[in-house]
Structure 1
Amino acid sequence: MSTSTNPSIHGRNGTANRTMNAMTNATRNGPGHGAGKASTPEATRRPRLSGMTWLVWRQHRAAFWTLLAATVLCVAWMVYQRAQMMDFLHAYGFPAKNLDDAGKQFDPYIGAFTSVTTGLTAIPVMLGVLLGAPLLAGDLENGTAKLIAAQSVSRNRWLATKLALTGLVVTVTTVTLSAVFAWWWNPVKLHYLDIDWTSREFFNTTGPAPVALALLSVFGGVLIGVILRRTLAAMVVTLGFTVALQAVWGYFKLSLGDILTATSKPVSPGTTITFPSVPRTAHVVDTSYVSGSGKPFDLTTCTDTLSEQATTSCMKKADIVGASIDYIPISQMSSMQWFGASVLFALTAGIVVFLFVWGRKRLV
């Protein structure tokens, strides 16, 4: 009986059968196989995907092309915004003139930063939910995984191709976006005080941080999909996983750096305290008074007094002789990102190993 008259192949099984036919043709001949095409020198010289790589690309080409197209559009927008910002800086007289004095003139360019960083910080979450979770859960749900397991191609090769091609696309897009955004921000990075480099909008969108967050989100979503074996359920759980990942990353982010302390010169107790200076773009972690014995006091010490004389008396009683500022300079930003990214890369590698050791047994 022909497949056109067998009702069992329709619906979910129809998708699985189409994938099986494509896989069979791809693994035997590669795309574009035929007497007329294979014999031409142009066809043999032209680089083309073939075999399992071609099959995986074809299966997920809509998601891959959408991701690549969105990257191109975002890069074009950032290049345009940087050109606009550089025109303003040249007309303003930067760097001879302090950019902090620009006031509202520079607000439109800060708004452009904000609009782009909002989208960039959401990329790991969106990739985990829309790309990672359905990657294998869809095959397990519609039966494609069982058909592939019955073919000559091993599950290890199928899984490796899926993960490698997906990881490559994610890496290319996030590296490109990270590099272009850093290039856009770099001219004012050390000069504009209203931009906090430790915020997620800037720390999570430059250097290796966005790549590491995106890969862990995607492969974490893949693992969740293998466990749940249902696309919608995997997407919902992956959403919670990626949001939790962002929260944990934000909580431990500052611990990746070395906190430095600047201390003012000691003065007599009760004398006006002069706070020490720190680098312009440093992130201040804490500010406190310091007693003669080196004990720190909160800045609210003696603030409940009603008069200047009472405040002076309180400061003398507490033996406060100076002040200190704990801070992290922007020069540590790159090392903090690489240290944190190395941890995320290690977790991602652990997930991949777990998928091959345990997860491949469930791909049936």
Structure 2
Amino acid sequence: MTGVRGVSWLVWRQHRTTLWALLAFTVLVAGFFLYGGSGAADATSTLAGCVDATGPTAPPECSQAVTDFQQQHQYPLRQPLQVLQLLPLVFGLFLGAPLFAQEVESGTYRTALAQSVPRNRWFRAKVTVPVVMTVLGAGAITACATWWWHAVPAPLGSRFPWHGSMPFAAVGPAPVAKALLVLAIGITLGLLVRRTVAAMAATAVTGAVVLFALEHVRGALWPTVVAQRSDITAEPAPDGAWILNGGLVDTTGRRVPESSECYASTDYGQCLAGKGITGRWTEFHPASHFWPLQWTQTGLCLAASAALIALCFWWTRHRLT
């Protein structure tokens, strides 16, 4: 087997147990979300007149219907979405880290490089299989999870905000891009560490740090909106907004710190007015920023993945002997 197809088949043969296990995992998890999403979609159609009916003025029948919907379709979704945030680590640990580390550790890569297939084609064939598996596997799972999640927020409103780490980190295109990034991290560490178990451990730690960092900075990935209102009792942000920062302003519009003296006052508003404080300012992301934030994070992860794969390509050509 000297062609690229032969190398790809060899990669499949070398990692077939892991690939079959991941395929079965994908089918089971995607099937779970697909089943749950179909039930949520059917139930949502019966709540057309009770969208976001969660306040004290909501009709009793709507309040009970929304509560029942939450218990039957949101609660079963929460923990799976929380676990799904770790999905990128699965692909990085079991596909990325062992890909080159096993061959480098055992020395079998020398046999492959001694064949007539050039290094660039060998590298491309080696990387293509896990990349395709990651895109298809993570894509299928997150597509089904997104479908279930998409049916839930409309009737629940503020009970299930879009901007929380769950669901944001587990739906949309970003989880697929993060899976590719952690896969690339695993491949890179496998080449550098040259030991399979050590590379898997390093991938787990590095991948977790990267996922945490992406979650921490995602609010800065898209320009925020700043609004101001001459009212100290309410945030000047629309319903469903992701509020990042805020505070008080005086009569000139200048931002001023909170007044701790007024907290103990019997009339908080009158106390602030006496100090010349007449309004509030808020920095936020409206609900319409969900997809721009998703696609920006996706692009960032894909760019980092491409850079790491390029580094691995260079490494196999110049440092792997």
Question: C-alpha displacement at 1:104, in angstroms?
Answer: 5.5
**Which one of the candidate residues 56, 65, 68 is aligned to 2:20?**
65
- Where does residue 353 of structure 1 map in the other structure? 310
Which stretch has the larger CA shift, 250-259 or 78-87? 78-87
Quote the Cα distance in structure 2 between the aligned partners of 1:85 and 1:321. Answer: 45
Quote the Cα distance in structure 2 between the aligned partners of 1:86 and 1:150. Answer: 56
**Which one of the candidate residues 241, 247, 251 is aligned to 1:288?**
247
- Where does residue 208 of structure 1 map in the other structure? 173
Question: C-alpha displacement at 1:299, in angstroms?
Answer: 5.0
Quote the Cα distance in structure 2 between the aligned partners of 1:170 and 1:210. Answer: 11
1:96 aligns with 2:55: no
Question: C-alpha displacement at 1:295, in angstroms?
Answer: 2.1
**Which one of the candidate residues 306, 316, 340 is aligned to 2:273?**
316
Cα displacement string for residues 182-219 of structure 1 (whole angstroms, at most 9, x for unaligned residues):
22121233442122322232222222211111111011
* Structure 2: 5+ residue stretches without partners: 55-62
**Which one of the candidate residues 76, 83, 95 is aligned to 1:119?**
83
Aligned-partner residue type, residue 54 of structure 1? W
SS at 1:341 equivalent: helix
1:107 aligns with 2:104: no
Quote the Cα distance in structure 2 between the aligned partners of 1:222 and 1:125. Answer: 12
Aligned-partner residue type, residue 130 of structure 1? F
- Where does residue 125 of structure 2 map in the other structure? 161
Percent identity reads 28
Q: Tell me how many residue pairs correspond in the alignment.
A: 309
TM-score, structure 2 as length reference: 0.88
Quote the Cα distance in structure 1 between the aligned partners of 2:249 and 2:303. Answer: 41
Retained in 2: the 8 A contact 1:159–1:360?
A: no
- Where does residue 219 of structure 1 map in the other structure? 184
Question: C-alpha displacement at 1:304, in angstroms?
Answer: 4.0
SS at 2:2 equivalent: helix
Q: How does 1:136-175 map to 2 (within 5 A)?
A: 136-175=100-139
**Which one of the candidate residues 283, 296, 299 is aligned to 1:342?**
299
Question: C-alpha displacement at 1:277, in angstroms?
Answer: 5.4
Retained in 1: the 8 A contact 2:149–2:167?
A: no
Question: C-alpha displacement at 1:230, in angstroms?
Answer: 0.5
Cα pair distance change 1:79/1:300, threshold 3 Å: farther
Q: Is the radius of gyration larger for structure 1 or structure 2?
A: 1
Cα displacement string for residues 246-291 of structure 1 (whole angstroms, at most 9, x for unaligned residues):
111011100012222332236xxxxxx3425533321122332221
Q: How does 1:226-245 map to 2 (within 5 A)?
A: 226-245=191-210
Cα pair distance change 1:185/1:225, threshold 3 Å: same
SS at 1:94 equivalent: helix
Which stretch has the larger CA shift, 330-339 or 295-304? 295-304
Quote the Cα distance in structure 2 between the aligned partners of 1:123 and 1:359. Answer: 28
Cα displacement string for residues 138-162 of structure 1 (whole angstroms, at most 9, x for unaligned residues):
0011121111122222222211111
Aligned-partner residue type, residue 348 of structure 1? S
1:27 aligns with 2:2: yes
Quote the Cα distance in structure 2 between the aligned partners of 1:180 and 1:152. Answer: 43
Cα pair distance change 1:112/1:299, threshold 3 Å: farther
Aligned-partner residue type, residue 190 of structure 2? G
Quote the Cα distance in structure 2 between the aligned partners of 1:187 and 1:343. Answer: 28
Retained in 2: the 8 A contact 1:302–1:315?
A: no
User: Which aligned runs of 4 or more in structure 1 are off by greater than 6 angstroms?
Assistant: none
Quote the Cα distance in structure 2 between the aligned partners of 1:322 and 1:347. Answer: 43
SS at 1:27 equivalent: coil
Aligned-partner residue type, residue 303 of structure 2? A
Which stretch has the larger CA shift, 207-216 or 132-141? 207-216
SS at 1:151 equivalent: coil
